[in-house]
Amino acid sequence: MNTGFNVEEQNMIFTVEPGGILQGNLRVPGDKSISHRAIMLGSLAEGATEVTGFLEGEDALATLQAFRDMGVNIEGPDNGRVVIHGVGMRGLQTPAGPLNMGNSGTSMRLLCGLLSGQLFNTTLTGDCSLSTRPMRRVTEPLAEMGAVIGTTEAGTAPLNVCGDQPLRGIRFDMPVASAQVKSCLLLAGLYAKGRTCVTEPAPTRDHTERMLTGFGYPVERVGATACVEGGGKLMATPVEVPADISSAAFFMVGASISEGSDIVLRHVGVNPTRIGIINILRRMGADITLSNEREVGGEPVADIRVRSAPLKGIAIPEDQVPLAIDEFPVLFVAAACAEGETVLTDAKELRVKESDRIQVMADGLQTLGVDARPTEDGMIIQGGGAGCRLGSGRVESHDDHRIAMAFSMAALRASGSVVINNCANVNTSFPEFVTLARNAGLRIESAS
């Protein structure tokens, strides 16, 4: 299967003409976080797990291919449908070579924990971007559990995970809120002797805990602590993946800043650990309403209607930062169009994503004439208000999918064309972005 991991060798360029109004009834692709976890837990379960709504983006496909490489029979994906024939907790097989995670930090960090409990050695590799991202945040606590994992001197990939190591449960207080670290340790805890408990300093997405419970594996959650006992088993269960709120976020901001816009985003996951984008935009004055709220497979979903509204700058509450950590690139665009000053603090994590999202967004916004000042842990943006027009020009995405899509929406308020360089990595999370955005009213074209 071609997962397209050579995206950094391509130079896909987005050209977005100014203006446009977003309208329509849209469904964005399936949630990436849930798609990853469905493949992982379905592979370790007993029986066949049918997944619908699976995200057919390169990150989730990297996870799928890794488990195929470890002997799991997986049918699809076919229009978002995947059937995973689980091999049980001890049924994975030694892969023929390194497992290539492409650009997916979630795949690498979560698999690092899961593979620590296997009986065979594994090497995890990634593309140039992933190979610079910090991995000690997972390898060090895993070492406390007894895992043996080799990294580069800088603590980056490739990761050499030694198998057949007896793991023991630990209590770990995370220094930084991170769903990837929490999930990594809980997955390792499935194979550890005794009890593994992870305490987070602020709430992070809880898809792993919810899905473990759905697959019949008990998770004890008390306050900020999640615990699992090693030695249990997973039983196959259907998984319906909701639309990804991180992908919906681009259209939420786009509709908010473009006068006359009115869109409905259908079947979006509104897990309370993921709705920072909604909370922050509402504080800024956005017109957002939720309807048809329901629960699907243990995950809350809703239809989200967004109509254009004048936004105002705010000091973003620090307790919302972990709930919107992936959405800040496009929130910075909202801030640039708001009246007054927006201040983000306590978001240093943004500097170690697919790119340094603080510096890269500041650079691009400055190119468009925005007063955007990066700080060590955030940004200060002076917005132009409802009547302002952003500038035009060429911005660099640094191969970061969320940067590329954020600046695409900025063109709705630009005075001229916005050209965005190196956009191929949009395929990691939102393969149909250009088509869906164009159908909704964005004047976007792509070319290699």
The answer to whether residue 4 scores a pLDDT higher than 50 is: no
The predicted pLDDT at position 144 comes to 98
The answer to whether residue 242 scores a pLDDT higher than 60 is: yes
- Of 387, 377, 272, 395, nearest to 318 by C-alpha is 377
Task: Give the global pTM.
Answer: 0.91
Crossing angle between the packed helical segments 276-283 and 328-336, to the nearest 10 degrees? 10
92-114 average pLDDT score: 96
Q: Which two tokens stand for residue 258?
A: 């473009």
CA distance 395 to 372: 14
The answer to whether residue 298 scores a pLDDT higher than 90 is: no
Selecting from 3.65.10.10, 3.20.20.70, 3.40.50.970, 1.10.10.10, what CATH number does the domain 32-240 have? 3.65.10.10
Same fold, 7-30+243-447 and 32-240: yes
* CATH architecture of the domain with range 7-30+243-447: Alpha-beta prism (3.65)
319-346 average pLDDT score: 97
17-40 average pLDDT score: 96
| Residues catalogued as catalytic | 326
The CA angle 415-416-422, to the nearest 5 degrees, is 125
Binned at pLDDT 50, 70 and 90, residue 6 comes out as very low
CA distance 447 to 424: 10
Higher-pLDDT residue of 11 and 404 is 404
The predicted pLDDT at position 8 comes to 42
CA distance 402 to 85: 33
Binned at pLDDT 50, 70 and 90, residue 65 comes out as very high
The answer to whether residue 261 scores a pLDDT higher than 50 is: yes
278-303 average pLDDT score: 95
**pLDDT digit string (tens) for 201-223?**
999 999 999 999 999 999 999 99
Share above pLDDT 90 across residues of the chain, in percent, rounded to a whole number: 93
**CA-to-CA dists, residue 251 to 68, 290, 345, 439, angstroms:** 34, 15, 24, 12
The answer to whether residue 9 scores a pLDDT higher than 80 is: no
Q: Where are the domains of the chain?
A: 7-30+243-447, 32-240
Helix (H) or strand (E) holding 213: helix 207-214
Asked whether the bond before 77 is cis by omega within 30 degrees of 0, the reply is: yes
116-139 average pLDDT score: 96
The answer to whether residue 267 scores a pLDDT higher than 80 is: yes
The predicted pLDDT at position 88 comes to 98
**CA-to-CA dists, residue 288 to 93, 196, 305, 411, 412, angstroms:** 48, 39, 6, 21, 19
Beta strands at 225-229 and 220-222: parallel, antiparallel or unpaired: antiparallel
